Copies of this chain bind each other. A is one copy, B any other.
Amino acid sequence: MEATLAITEAVTKKPKPDPNSLQFGKTFTDHMFTMEYKADEGWTNPQIKPYAPIEIDPAAMVFHYSQTVFEGLKAYRTKDGVVRLFRPEENFKRLNRSNKRLSIPPIDEKSAIEHLKQLVALEKDWIPTEEGTSLYIRPFVIATEPSLQVAPAKSYQLFIILSPVGSYYPTGIQPVSIMVEEDTTRAVRGGTGSAKTGGNYSAGYNAQAKATANGHAQVLWLDGMEKKYIEEVGSMNVFFKINGEIVTPELSDSILEGITRKSVIELLKSWKVPVSERRVTMQEVKDAYDNGTLEEAFGSGTAAVISPIGELTWRDTTMTINGGETGDVTTSLYKTITNIQTGKERDPFGWTLKL
């Protein structure tokens, strides 16, 4: 049985930042949620307490063997004060799938959502209401046992921290330039690619630096075995509109099952737009470009929601997609999803959870 949530309010509150100059993931709210796992007690001691540095042993296993998982989701607030979470149950389901891959004990998803709701309610005033802004929510688990043995830890800590974030597109949705990465690998069959775990992310920093140096916003990852099949773009899932059909790489253990990806597919199906989850080679995309049937391309993820791809560079070819403009399906998806998230549009799918 789980212990009762203990709440300790911060004595002094931090000033709220200017919503027009927020950088992603740099400002944190007054409180955080924490919960501990001990081998003999399970997950215990749920607390909301002031956001502050933590004390941790330098031998804590997370520092040595990166046994850690995380999630990312957003809360939106309208001017009338209503706060909405977007599909939080999907995030905690995925957190448990990541936990399984990383040998971390599962959490109770229902009570995690209840605790999250209480935390967000307490921090309601931190949620900006300007167009495109939101409160980014970062649940994460770290292995805390002080031990250098290469083995799963016996103790863990789960945190939920909150960060108000500005608009991803302050001047309106903008297509980006993407570079196909062929040298380094994000994930491979049998690896940790479908888990949201730290190691997948720092592994891509070198490739991202190369892309940035060449004037691209992000990289497109190919499969680790043949460097042939498309997997993801940066830290987003990827979609192409080819000859009227939307295609996206089918899920595997090297692709993260994005919640925005899932929402895109469900939305397209509701619109009767043909959508297919299957293996897609880079060559197929190039062929479609060459014969004029590559109509749109975009990434999907929590941060940007939908990110149109205006240019895609593969080896010596730079493909300009839809004249470098955001395509119609891309625009519709962006508008509809963000409108549902922010309550501007009816939510026929039951995706939003009102506080």
Contact = CB atoms under 8 A, between A and B. Distances in A.
B203 A191 contact: yes
Interface stretch (A204-212, A270-278, A283-291, A339-347): A204-212
Interface stretch (A77-85, A110-118, A134-142): A134-142
Given A28-B59, A59-B161, A190-B224, A152 B205 contact: yes
Q: How many copies does the complex hold?
A: 2
B151 A208 contact: yes
14 contacts: A25-B59, A26-B149, A59-B163, A63-B140, A64-B70, A64-B138, A64-B140, A65-B202, A67-B205, A68-B202, A102-B205, A103-B202, A191-B224, A224-B224
A199 to B, nearest CB: 2
A189 interface: yes
A332 to B, nearest CB: 27
B138 A25 contact: no
Given A54-B56, A56-B56, A188-B224, 20 more contacts: A25-B59, A25-B147, A26-B149, A53-B55, A53-B56, A53-B57, A54-B58, A62-B62, A63-B140, A63-B142, A66-B68, A150-B234, A183-B190, A188-B188, A191-B203, A192-B202, A197-B199, A199-B199, A199-B200, A199-B203
A25 B149 contact: yes
A62 B59 contact: no
A206 B148 contact: no
A25 B60 CA distance: 11
B148 A138 contact: yes
B225 A65 contact: no
Instruction: Determine chain A's interface SS by DSSP, over half rule.
Output: loop
A279 interface: no
A198 interface: yes
Nearest to A225: B225
A222 B191 CA distance: 12
A275 to B, nearest CB: 27
A197 B190 contact: no
A202 B60 CA distance: 13
A103 B206 contact: yes
A185 interface: yes
A32 interface: yes
Contacts of A234: 150
